Chains A and B, each alone.
Chain A
């Protein structure tokens, strides 16, 4: 009896160990590039004594970070601000649009609702860059192709298409709450602003995060517009600017690229830590039976 118990416990333990080993390997593969990037940002590769074969740098320096703020070829602060402005406004507009679209598709019943939802799903399956050429021409027609801020329009235009997650969340808020509001004397507006929105904090946070990180890290649209319209380096976004550092003839700014990449992650991390306290689950508890 006791023997059987012990062997079962042993089996449980060994299985757990195996699972952790596999998970550790996967996380190492996943995290190594980040880790390596951080190390490289502190590596003095210009130094002739630098050992390029070693993973952990043998000569440490802050010069890479300094270069970002002092080297005239690298207007990093401008790039950073440009990207921040684009990402901020995109996130703001996109969140409002996504929430409103999701509410409409979750709560209102109108002709063609199902068809619209399917159409959006299918449109979403096409890679976005297929329309790049056309989008550029539209921007040119509107006279908006001369500034990188036109990206706000590009990113926001299709934002309502990512309504799925928020709609799924709204669907879980009982409809009888809407009905209770209607009987209490409210309108659809009251339902949205005073019931749905306060109950949807987690999903609002999620939407803000997603719609901020998208433009923050996007490279393709930015690069395309900048290249086609030949915008000056001060008008770059971080992604385009940093990529430019790696394609120079010499690798003297490679370290600055690594340092820039580390700094780019700061706003996202800050944003997440600031918002995560609202990101609590179970806020809808107690609305109805339960």
Chain B
């Protein structure tokens, strides 16, 4: 059992095609994760990358706390179930399941126990001696599951395991997998294109499209709150109903107007669109309205509620037995022509006496609707809004946002009337020092985030708050105006936010190049220091190792002295045991041969009897038909019926041999299966016996050697250990000589090993020829001697946030960076800055990938 962490995982093929783009996810221990999406969306590729069957182009994959990018599949402690089962056809079910453990040299008794356990869990006990070809699809997939679970892996990977099964079996297997997950409590990752499987199995579902993650959420949340139109349309059968609409905010409600219509069709309460930005509610933006078929109703009691009623022309029905889907078109938009989509699906208990062509009334439950921006197809009412958009006015160095206040000097806007300010959710932080105070109106929990709507002087905004905050509480928060976007009344941007990161370019160089180019002796010193440190470390370790070796050898010598007297006696005992085992095995072999002979004879006898039975049966059938025909011909004189009888008799005669042959073949096949299964069983038990006694003998021999010649064994053991230790030391020393730097203009910065590894792994041999874009956050600079030279130009004051603007020159061009420093710096001072690499983000633009 283990958790998984996928960080910025990309799969880029040599032809440049990106199968997976920037996949990020934390999977908790014991979760059941389902990857779902249409074909070609990268779900299987992601799974195969986790399995190690496909290389990860860039990014990092952790299973537990171990980075497994470069690990072989067999070392990752995972198990996988394939869509096409991938059973070994020449092995029996037992051998198939045991194969993995055999390769891992698990003791035979333990393997046997585990196979029996897995067979018991999956109901396969009676099939253990069969070969895959003698089993049905469902049984084969159970074997495949068994093979996976008996290793008790950290992670179970299932690649569309039910796709090859028929619908009924799929249902059964689904509940079996679900039960298995509950029983094993292992982390499951399951790939499917079937959204029913995704919804029923997953604790969390990852919806993917074209290599990108669309949404990661619980099945219910995916269903109720899809983040975009794709997810809304993909999840749920039948598909969600979509219509093009506009939204217009009125005094106490919001009107939904069909696109190109005048009259409002539906009415929403204002609470429903609280999280929507105001620009969507002006009646000018195109919106996609989505609702599910169960949220439209044509039933009397719903219609009686009176509001949000539409006319639908029925086109056809789909009767599903327990319910009926009514397909129709919205009458109001139908009139408009072909431009808009008009199709609507309504779930009803029955046809309710309607026929195709009828116009009926239906009520839309507007509380359950989804709204998407038609341009981006992203929801306009997200569970957690990305930003707050509030009205703002600026005049005479005053800003009217949360009441009138002095405009922070750094806001580059002098005059704004009826404008808006957009603040990312993170730009407002609740804390004691906050300069703005508001009253909590309502609190809701969205996953791990507690979200509060806070009212400040008549304006409502959402804040992330700590758990425990209640409606009615007062909270203080800070506002980071450096991240605000100001727009005027026509929605044109008047001030962009300051970027949260500054970009600088760098190249990747190794120690030799740096030394060669700069002729700076400090590089050599740097290397020597690193090597010296490793050397010292290993000297220490070697001392400990040698001491341990000496002690072990001394102990072994003592043991040897004590045991010498009894060696001869034990040797004799061992020889005797060998002799006995040999005898036993010979007996077992004879018995096995006898059993096989008997079984073969038995089956030959059965076969003979069965064939005789079939012969007799068909002979009887033939005779009866012949007699019947003769009798008919004798008694009947009507030419028409005589002719028809003659034809039917000749048809019988012609098809008779084929009928018999097919019966014979069927019987032979099933008898052959039985025979093969029995022989397989005999063979399996015999080889199990042989292997067990051989194992025992081997183990006894090993014990004898270890106990009677402890000195020899220990010496050998330590020879091996010494070799391994030497190799480890050499490797460490070789690694210590590898030093890599980022070269910013003329400044070389030593890179820590983990970041170096990531960059080299992501770029391969091209690493030295590319330019990297380093994005440094404002607090990601440190002052360092000899680093990049900057002059502090100004102090930028955004109210709660103060940044120093520094100007410098890099690669012959002017560069500005904003830094957030603890100490006070005088304006005009020249400082030397170096990025703190751990805090930066590293990109390579040519392939458009993030490396760190």
Residues of chain A having any CB pair with chain B under 8 Å: 2, 174, 176-177, 179-186, 190, 195, 198-199, 283-289
Contact = CB atoms under 8 A, between A and B. Distances in A.
Interface in B65-112: 72-74, 78-80, 82-90, 99-100, 103-104
Contacts of A182: 52-53, 72-74
B82 A287 contact: no
A289 B86 CA distance: 8
Contact of B88 (A2, A183, A195): A195
A181 B88 CA distance: 9
Nearest to B91: A198
A283 B82 contact: no
Contacts of B53: 179, 182-183
Nearest to B88: A195
Contact of A286 (B80, B83, B104, B135): B135
Contacts of B74: 182-186
B134 interface: yes
Given A2-B647, A182-B53, A185-B100, A283 B90 contact: yes
B82 A179 contact: yes
22 contacts: A2-B643, A174-B84, A174-B86, A176-B83, A176-B84, A177-B88, A180-B82, A180-B87, A180-B88, A181-B99, A182-B52, A182-B73, A183-B78, A183-B79, A185-B103, A195-B88, A286-B89, A286-B134, A287-B85, A287-B86, A287-B132, A288-B86
Given A288-B87, A289-B137, 4 more contacts: A179-B51, A183-B78, A185-B103, A289-B85
Contacts of A181: 99
Interface in B130-183: 131-135, 137, 140, 147, 164
Nearest to A197: B90
B642 to A, nearest CB: 12
Nearest to B106: A185
Contacts of B86: 174, 176-177, 179-180, 287-288
Interface string B388-408: 000000000000000000000
Contacts of A2: 643, 647
A180 B80 contact: yes
7 A-B pairs with the lowest CB-CB distances in the bound complex, closest first: A286-B133, A288-B84, A184-B100, A286-B132, A176-B86, A287-B89, A285-B133
A184 B103 contact: yes
Nearest to B72: A182
Contact of A176 (B79, B82, B147): B82
Contacts of B134: 286
Contacts of A289: 83-85, 137, 164
A139 to B, nearest CB: 42
B99 A184 contact: yes
Nearest to A190: B103
B191 to A, nearest CB: 14
A250 B82 CA distance: 72
B79 A287 contact: no
B136 to A, nearest CB: 10
B55 to A, nearest CB: 12
Interface in B211-245: none
A184 B76 CA distance: 11
Contacts of B90: 198-199, 283
A176 B86 CA distance: 6
A183 B99 CA distance: 11
Interface of B: 51-53, 72-74, 78-80, 82-90, 99-100, 103-104, 131-135, 137, 140, 147, 164, 643, 647
A198 B99 CA distance: 15
A199 B91 CA distance: 10
Which one of B79, B88, B134 has the highest number of Cβ atoms from chain A below 10 Å of its Cβ? Answer: B88
B159 to A, nearest CB: 9
B80 A183 contact: yes
Which one of B72, B89, B100, B104 has the highest number of Cβ atoms from chain A below 10 Å of its Cβ? Answer: B89
A55 B82 CA distance: 65
Contacts of A176: 82-84, 86
B186 to A, nearest CB: 15
A284 B140 CA distance: 14
A38 B433 CA distance: 112
Nearest to A198: B90
A199 B103 CA distance: 19
A198 B74 CA distance: 22
A185 B104 contact: yes
A182 B76 CA distance: 11
A186 B164 contact: no
Contacts of A179: 51, 53, 73, 80, 82, 86
B103 A287 contact: no
A284 B87 CA distance: 10
B627 to A, nearest CB: 24
Nearest to B80: A183
Given A2-B643, A183-B80, A287 B99 contact: no
Nearest to A288: B84
A290 to B, nearest CB: 8
Which one of B78, B80, B647 has the highest number of Cβ atoms from chain A below 10 Å of its Cβ? Answer: B80
A288 B134 CA distance: 12
Contact of B89 (A183, A184, A190, A285): A285
A199 B89 contact: yes
Contacts of B87: 180, 286-288
Contacts of A180: 80, 82, 86-88, 147
Contacts of A285: 89, 132-133
Contacts of A185: 74, 100, 103-104
Contacts of B137: 289
Contacts of A183: 51-53, 73-74, 78-80, 100
A179 B74 CA distance: 10
Nearest to B104: A185
A280 B100 CA distance: 28
A283 B89 contact: yes
Contacts of B51: 179, 183
A183 B154 CA distance: 13
A286 B140 contact: yes
Nearest to B75: A185
A199 B86 CA distance: 13
Contacts of B140: 286
Which one of A179, A182, A195, A283 has the highest number of Cβ atoms from chain B below 10 Å of its Cβ? Answer: A179
Nearest to A176: B86
B135 to A, nearest CB: 7
A196 B289 CA distance: 56
A184 B105 CA distance: 12
Contacts of A177: 86, 88
Given A176-B84, A182-B74, A183-B79, A284 B89 contact: yes
A288 B90 CA distance: 12
Contacts of A199: 89-90
